[in-house]
Amino acid sequence: MFQDFISLFFPNCCFTCEGPLLKSEEYICTKCIYDLPKTNEHIEQPAFQNHFGVHVNFKYALSYLKFIKKGKVQKLMHKFKYDHFPEIGNTLGKWYGADLKEHGYQNEIDLILPIPLHENKLKQRGFNQSDFFALGLSQSLDVPFSNKIIARSTKSETQTKKGRLARWKNVKEIFLVLDELSVIGKRVLLVDDVITTGSTLESCALTLQESGCGELSFATLAVAK
Ligand SMILES: [Zn+2]
């Protein structure tokens, strides 16, 4: 009864092709899953191609999907972020996590941390899309996840930290590690939704490295190609 009530408002249609979904399918039909433009970077070892534009030492830089303007991934990301379907991010994270696990990545990571969202964006959207993707990865890889370790600093904190960070002239985003003990020596997978310039990931990575994190890798849901 309740399920019928729900489907009145959320008919079970594929989020990308809008065709009907089978009972076993969730958000995206099997054909669309198959057709998603995957980068397959986790197989082809692109870790050494620094398309992230990140100037810090890292082990892997992985993106699940290719973000093409007006393509399937853009449609999916829009549903995910702006139409309030955070569960899509979780589902995509689980699928990617399963792909990564198949190639042994669970043995390369100790901790999964999502990039925190700006406080005003969080209020506006009600959720951090990277949390859901990172949680999905964690569930499939069986690697711990936490969204309580990194925070974006507020303006006043930015000013007090100015001296220490002044040398990173291009850093626009300022992050704080709230629990340094939990990152020391750990192989951290830093997770974001779409990679654009890489400056956010870079800034967060620098903060983690300053806090003594052992090894860094990056994973994003999509990369603009
Ligand atoms: Zn479909």
Is the pTM here over 0.75, yes or no?
yes
CA 82–ligand 1 middle distance (angstroms):
19
**Tens digit of each residue's pLDDT (9 = 90 or more) over 18-77:** 899 998 888 889 999 889 999 888 887 654 455 666 678 889 889 999 988 888 888 888
C-alpha 1 to ligand 1 mean position (Å): 26
Q: What pLDDT score was predicted for residue 169?
A: 46
Ligand 1 center–CA 31 separation, angstroms: 6
What's the CA-to-centroid distance between 126 and ligand 1, angstroms? 27
Nearest CA to 30 among 46, 14, 53? 14
Q: How far is the CA of 101 from the centre of ligand 1 (A)?
A: 25
Of the listed ranges 49-53, 69-73, 100-104, 158-162, the one predicted with least confidence: 158-162
Which of these, 211, 195, 205, 197, lies nearest to 39 by C-alpha position? Answer: 195
- pLDDT tens for each residue of 189-213: 999 988 777 788 888 999 999 999 9
- Measure the CA–CA gap between 168 and 164, rounded to whole angstroms: 9
Q: Residue holding tokens 């890798």?
A: 217
**What are the structural domains, with CATH classification, of the chain?**
1-35 (no CATH), 36-224 (3.40.50.2020)
Comparing 151 with 200, which gets the higher pLDDT? 151
Question: Both tokens of residue 167?
Answer: 């040398």
Report the distance separating Cα 174 and Cα 155, nearest Å. Answer: 9
Q: How far, in Å, from the CA of 157 to the mean position of ligand 1? A: 46
CA of 9 to the centre of ligand 1 (A): 19
Find the 36 Cα to ligand 1 centroid distance in Å.
10
